[in-house]
Chains A and B, each alone.
Chain A
Amino acid sequence: MQARENESAGATSADISSVGLAAHELKSPLVLLRQLSLELSSGDLSATERQRVLDQLIQTSEKALRLTSDLTKAEHLQPALFELQPINPISICDDITYELQRLYSAHGRQLKRSRIRHLPPVIANRDLLRRILLNFADNALHYSDESGAVELHAQLLREKGLVRVGVRDYGPAVSMKNWRELTKAMATTKPMRARPQSSGLGIYIAHQFATAMNGRIGAIRHRDGASFYVELPISKQLSLL
């Protein structure tokens, strides 16, 4: 009993920072859900506005649920529980584009896949790779300009035997201070603040998922935004496709 209590106390203190970050990250969607619900309950909206607010409520709750689902997955990440298999990076980009179409459209934005030439399949877990890219694309929506499209892209890094799959956003440049923190966050096993209003939890989760697939995440700072990507090993089993 004593041992169990100690174990429990240890786990609690170790997890406090993660719990705090998760709470911080969930606060924004919860605040938005509350504000939209209050406005809806006021009955002071036209039919069009009402439908728009309802759609925003659905999209915001789905986004918050994606985060909680990612957190649960990251917490119980054991290699034995997921299978690595050859995956076509182009098809996963198309899946993400389709999946987030409604969210982007509700924001009046566009998520598109850049033109990609033939790429070899990568060795990955479809669910984890999907979650990484959804995370990047969710983030890009928030940090890109209202007029800026967000692009999913993939490229072959032949000399490294890797394929890089990522998301490019167009918005205000990330300050050097935030960029240094972000690149530090990419190399650590602890969540760190990456961009303003971000706890860095998304980066941490993506890092965990990428590492579990023998991959790595990275980012490129542009004058007009940023790219976030995951690099994964090429499958040698081309015959399987």
Chain B
Amino acid sequence: MTSRGSVVVVEDDQWLAEQYVRTLKKAGYQVRHVPHALAAIDTIDEAVPDVIVLDMLLAGTTAMALLHELKSHKDLAAIPVVLATNLADQIAFDDVSSYGVKRMLDKSTMHPEDIVAAVRSVATV
């Protein structure tokens, strides 16, 4: 199958991350998973993915620190971010859209295939 593009999944729940990876790979994406923000910046810098799927609350550092970091790198700032979070009802989309967040998914109501639809809708390739 031809690759639809590449995705980096930043999610510290290992089993949820495995599910995202399974679903995205079946949809034809090349996927890499990192469990926390510190490892994420290195992986994103190296892979320069088409889309980043990001959890809001991560072990060690929150997603906001990573979003700040990405914004400070010219080549990484343009990568669209899909925020998949348990806090969707507490986050105003306008507050995070300036950091490259293009879509926000509520983990408590989303379906597994929603991750593919969200990635597809923001990918520029």
Contacts and interface: CB of A to CB of B under 8 A. Distances in A.
A31 interface: yes
Contacts of A38: 111-112
B16 A35 contact: yes
Contacts, number: 66
B86 A171 contact: no
Interface stretch (A5-13, A142-150, A182-190): A142-150
A180 interface: no
Contact of B59 (A27, A28, A197): A197
A30 B13 CA distance: 13
A35 B107 contact: yes
A32 B11 CA distance: 12
A172 B60 contact: yes
A77 interface: no
A139 to B, nearest CB: 10
Nearest to A171: B59
A197 B12 contact: yes
A174 to B, nearest CB: 7
Interface residues of B, number: 26
A49 B25 CA distance: 14
Contacts of A27: 86, 108
Nearest to B65: A175
Contact of B15 (A32, A42, A171, A173): A32
Interface residues of A, number: 28
A32 B16 contact: yes
B86 A173 contact: no
B15 A28 contact: no
Contact of B112 (A35, A56, A171): A35
B60 A142 contact: no
Nearest to B110: A35
A44 interface: yes
Interface string A30-56: 111011101100101000010000001
Interface in B15-41: 15-16, 19, 22-23, 26, 35-39
Interface in A147-206: 171-175, 195-197
A60 interface: yes
Nearest to B26: A44
B61 interface: yes
B19 A196 contact: no
Given A35-B19, A145-B35, A172-B38, 5 more contacts: A36-B15, A39-B19, A39-B22, A56-B15, A171-B36
Interface of A: 27-28, 30-32, 34-36, 38-39, 42, 44, 49, 56, 60, 107, 142-143, 145-146, 171-175, 195-197
24 contacts: A27-B86, A28-B13, A28-B86, A30-B108, A31-B107, A32-B13, A32-B15, A32-B16, A34-B108, A38-B111, A39-B19, A39-B22, A42-B112, A49-B22, A56-B15, A107-B15, A146-B35, A171-B36, A172-B36, A172-B39, A175-B61, A196-B59, A196-B62, A197-B57
Minimum-distance CB pairs A-B, first 10 = A172-B60, A197-B57, A143-B59, A31-B107, A196-B57, A56-B15, A39-B112, A172-B36, A172-B38, A31-B108
